[in-house]
C-alpha cells in the first residue's frame, strides 16, 4: 500500500479521538467511514464533528465550501462489514485494553481488503501486544494522534519488530498529507514521546489531589503560575477525557499492582461514575465552556 493508494479511511471507535482523526482526514480530501458498535455513540460523534466544523468556520479556519466538502466525505455506521468493505487504512481508537483491541482488529482483518494498512491510536500500549491478532502484522503499526488533532498536530509513528519498512514509510507520508508532524520511534516504548512526558505530569497531579495534599485548582495554579501556561494538568485531563484517563490508569494499576496508581484511578472514577468526563460532556474537573481556569483572578484564587 503506497500513499496514493489510500482513498478511504476507516475509523474504528467513534469517541473523541476517533472523531477528530476522521475529521482531519476528511478535511484533507479522504473519504472517511466511522464505525462504532453503539448507535448512540455514532449519533453523538456526528453531532460533535458538526460542532468542530462550526467552530472552525467561526474561527475562519475553513471556508463554507471546504466545510461542506469535508462533511460530505463522512459516513457513520454500526455495520462492520459495510464499514470495512473499501477501507485502505484503518485507524483504531477503542478503549485501552489490549485484549479488546486484538479482538476488534482480528474482526476487521476478516472484513477489510487484504492490502489495507492497520493502525492503532493507543496512547500507552505498544503495537506488539496485539500485532499478531491483526492477521497482518507487517501492515500494522501505531499511529498515535494528539488532541485537538488540527492544533496539536504531532503524530507518533511506532512500528513493532514485524512492521514492514514500507508500511512505516507510507504512514509517515500519510501523516504529512493530513497536516501532521510525524515523530518516528526507533523502538517500542509505552506512552510514546509526548505522552511519556504528560503521563508523568498527570500522575503527579492525580497523586497530589487523590492524597489530599492539594486541591485540583491549586495543583493547576501551581503549574500555570510557575510555567506560565494557560492550562494546568487537570485542565489537560479534561481535554484528554476522564474516561480515557481512567481506562489507562486503571489498566496500569492492575497490571503493575501499584497502590498509588489504584488510588489515582479511584479518584478519577468518582468523576466518571457521575458522567463528568471532561470537555466532551461539558463537565469534568471544571465546567465547560468557560472553565474557571480561564477566568480573571483564577491564579490568585480571587
* pLDDT tens sequence across 168-188: 999 999 999 999 999 999 999
* pLDDT tens sequence across 242-283: 998 999 899 889 999 999 999 999 999 999 999 999 998 999
**CATH class of the structural domain 198-287:** mainly alpha
Q: Which CATH architecture has domain 3-184?
A: 3-Layer(aba) Sandwich (3.40)
Point out the residues of the chain with pLDDT beneath 50: none
Between β-strands 154-159 and 117-120, what pairing exists: parallel, antiparallel or unpaired?
unpaired
Which three cell numbers mark 284?
A: 469534568
The structural domains of the chain, with segments of one domain joined by +, span 3-184, 198-287
Exposed, middle or buried, 28 (CB in 10 Å: 0-12/13-18/19+)? middle
pLDDT number for residue 293 = 97
Exposed, middle or buried, 226 (CB in 10 Å: 0-12/13-18/19+)? exposed
SS (H, E, C) 11-24: EECCCHHHHHHHHH
pLDDT number for residue 301 = 84
pLDDT number for residue 147 = 87
- Let me know if the fold of 3-184 is the same as that of 198-287: no
Amino acid at each position: 500500500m503506497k500513499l496514493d493508494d489510500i482513498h478511504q479511511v476507516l475509523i474504528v471507535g467513534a469517541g473523541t479521538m476517533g472523531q477528530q482523526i476522521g475529521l482531519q482526514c476528511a478535511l484533507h480530501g479522504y473519504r472517511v467511514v466511522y464505525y462504532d458498535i453503539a448507535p448512540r455513540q455514532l449519533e453523538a460523534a456526528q453531532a460533535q464533528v458538526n460542532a468542530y466544523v462550526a467552530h472552525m468556520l467561526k474561527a475562519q479556519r475553513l471556508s463554507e465550501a471546504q466545510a461542506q466538502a469535508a462533511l460530505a466525505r463522512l459516513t457513520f455506521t454500526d455495520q462492520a462489514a459495510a464499514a470495512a468493505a473499501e477501507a485502505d487504512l484503518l485507524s483504531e481508537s477503542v478503549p485501552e485494553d489490549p485484549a479488546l483491541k486484538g479482538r476488534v482488529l482480528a474482526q476487521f482483518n476478516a472484513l477489510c481488503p487484504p492490502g489495507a494498512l492497520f493502525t492503532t491510536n493507543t496512547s500507552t500500549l505498544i503495537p506488539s501486544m496485539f500485532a499478531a491478532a491483526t492477521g497482518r502484522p507487517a501492515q500494522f503499526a501505531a499511529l498515535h494522534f494528539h488532541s485537538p488533532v488540527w492544533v496539536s498536530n504531532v503524530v507518533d509513528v511506532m512500528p513493532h519488530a514485524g512492521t514492514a519498512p514500507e508500511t512505516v514509510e507510507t504512514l509517515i507520508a500519510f501523516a504529512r498529507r493530513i497536516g501532521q508532524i510525524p515523530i518516528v520511534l526507533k523502538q517500542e516504548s509505552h506512552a510514546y514521546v509526548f505522552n511519556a512526558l504528560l503521563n508523568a505530569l498527570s500522575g503527579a497531579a492525580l497523586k497530589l489531589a487523590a492524597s489530599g495534599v492539594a486541591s485540583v485548582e491549586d495543583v493547576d495554579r501551581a503549574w500555570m503560575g510557575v510555567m506560565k501556561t494557560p492550562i494546568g494538568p487537570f485542565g489537560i485531563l479534561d481535554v484528554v477525557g476522564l474516561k480515557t484517563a481512567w481506562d489507562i490508569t486503571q489498566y496500569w494499576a492492575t497490571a503493575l499492582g501499584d497502590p498509588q496508581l489504584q488510588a489515582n484511578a479511584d479518584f478519577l472514577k468518582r468523576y466518571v461514575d457521575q458522567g463528568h468526563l471532561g470537555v466532551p460532556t461539558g463537565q469534568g474537573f471544571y465546567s465547560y465552556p468557560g472553565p474557571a481556569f480561564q477566568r480573571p483572578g483564577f491564579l490568585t484564587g480571587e
